């Protein structure tokens, strides 16, 4: 085995051993969770059923899916228009707007938590889907616009100009010329938005305190009582929560990487 392969093996172990530990523990019975057995001696699905019966994990999944999907769709709808306009259309003050968006995305979430709480309380959207969706849409939009705009300006302009000569409206141009070419960038923005809304914790913790509207991260963090942490159940729930993300990454790996290249290198 040469140096490269050995280093790759080390990297693989470093990344995957904790993940293995998570899944292995989720298959142990409650008594065995309190040991450091490397393999589950008597694999059981009991932790999984506990997550769904003793705790409301099904509800948390429902909330997370609704919020993350709705946020992603909204952000893409809004962000594609804005990204195109700020990248390609002759708007005065485009630079200023892009810099402001960057500045806004620098602001730490903890500073937004209190005023967002008041805002949502004011319009009666505490403990709701729409409150979280609106908050996440606003929080993830600046970064999505950034990725999309960088992708749009990397697309050659010729076809767009031909369409314009033919008298196509800007909206028509975006739909039939830009969108088909920008799919990788759109996937990237979509995945980043989805992952950000799926994993967000602080704002979800502050805005939605009722069990009915808790998301997966908040639900998992609040599993168990004050003095016990039911690790087995937590990891069973975590394994379930990891699946859609793992699938997403597996299917859209290329989009993530190519979008990053466009976003990071060109940026």
Partner 1 sequence: MTVAPVEKVLPEQQPQKTRPQPQHQSPPAGRAERHMVSAGWAFSAPSLLVVAGVMVFPIVFSVVMSLSNVNATVSGFHLSGLTFDNYSILFHADRYWHSLYFTVLYTIGTVFAEIIAGMLIALVLERLKSGRGWMMTLLLMPWAIVSVISAELWDYIYNGVYGVLNAALSPLFGHDINVLGTPLGATVGMAVADIWKTTPFVAVIILAGLVMLPGDVMEAGRMDGANGWQIFWHIRFPLMRPTLSIAVMFRILQAFGLFDLPYVLTNGGPGNSTESLALLGYQVLFVDLKFGPGAAVATSTAVIVLIGCLLFLKVFRSQVGQEEI
181 near partner 1, judged by CB under 8 A: no
Select from 48, 55, 57, 231 the one that contacts partner 1 (CB under 8 A).
Answer: 231
Give the HSE-up count for residue 133: Cα atoms under 13 Å, Cβ half-sphere: 17
265 near partner 1, judged by CB under 8 A: yes
Stretch that binds partner 1, among 40-48, 65-73, 130-138, 182-190 (CB under 8 A): 130-138
Of 46 and 199, which has the nearer Cβ to partner 1? Answer: 199
221 near partner 1, judged by CB under 8 A: yes
Select from 16, 53, 54, 183 the one that contacts partner 1 (CB under 8 A).
Answer: 16
Stretch that binds partner 1, among 41-49, 51-59, 114-122, 179-187 (CB under 8 A): 114-122
124 near partner 1, judged by CB under 8 A: no
- Are 179 and 186 contacting, i.e. CB atoms less than 8 angstroms apart? yes
Closest CA to 236 of 53, 26, 94: 26
79 near partner 1, judged by CB under 8 A: yes
Instruction: Please tell me the distance from the alpha carbon of residue 201 to that of residue 245, in angstroms, as a whole number.
Output: 16
Distance separating the N- and C-terminal Cα atoms of the chain = 39
Query: Considering only residues 148-177, where is the footprint of partner 1 by CB under 8 A?
Result: 150, 153-154, 156-157, 164, 169-171, 174
Nearest 10 degrees: Cα torsion 64, 66, 68, 72: 180
Select from 41, 58, 110, 175 the one that contacts partner 1 (CB under 8 A).
Answer: 110
Specify the residue for token string 């800007």.
170
Stretch that binds partner 1, among 45-53, 54-62, 104-112, 177-185 (CB under 8 A): 104-112
Q: What Rg value do the Cα atoms of the chain yield, rounded?
A: 22
The tokens describing 28, both together, are 């142990």
């Amino acid at each position: 085995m040469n140096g490269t392969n050995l280093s790759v093996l080390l990297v693989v172990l470093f990344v995957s051993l904790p993940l293995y530990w998570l899944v292995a523990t989720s298959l142990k019975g409650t008594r065995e969770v309190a040991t450091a057995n490397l393999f589950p001696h008597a694999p059981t699905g009991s932790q999984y059923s506990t997550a769904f019966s003793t705790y409301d994990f099904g509800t948390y999944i429902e909330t997370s899916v609704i919020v993350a999907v709705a946020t992603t769709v909204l952000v893409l709808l809004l962000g594609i228009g804005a990204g195109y306009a700020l990248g390609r259309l002759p708007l005065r003050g485009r630079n200023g707007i892009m810099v402001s968006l960057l500045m806004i995305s620098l602001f730490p979430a903890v500073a937004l938590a209190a005023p967002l709480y008041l805002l949502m309380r004011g319009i009666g959207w505490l403990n709701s889907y729409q409150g979280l969706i609106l908050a996440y849409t606003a929080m993830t939009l600046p970064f999505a616009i950034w990725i999309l705009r960088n992708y749009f300006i990397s697309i050659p302009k010729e076809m767009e100009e031909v369409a314009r000569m033919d008298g196509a409206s800007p909206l028509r141009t975006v739909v039939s010329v830009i969108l088909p070419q920008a799919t990788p960038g759109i996937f990237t923005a979509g995945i980043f938005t989805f992952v950000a809304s799926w994993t967000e914790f602080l704002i979800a913790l502050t805005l939605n305190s009722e069990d009915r509207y808790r998301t997966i991260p908040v639900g998992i963090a609040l599993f168990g009582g004050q003095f016990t942490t039911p690790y087995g159940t937590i990891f069973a729930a975590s394994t379930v929560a990891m699946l859609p993300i793992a699938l997403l990454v597996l299917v859209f790996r290329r989009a993530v990487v190519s979008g990053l290249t466009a976003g990071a290198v060109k940026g």
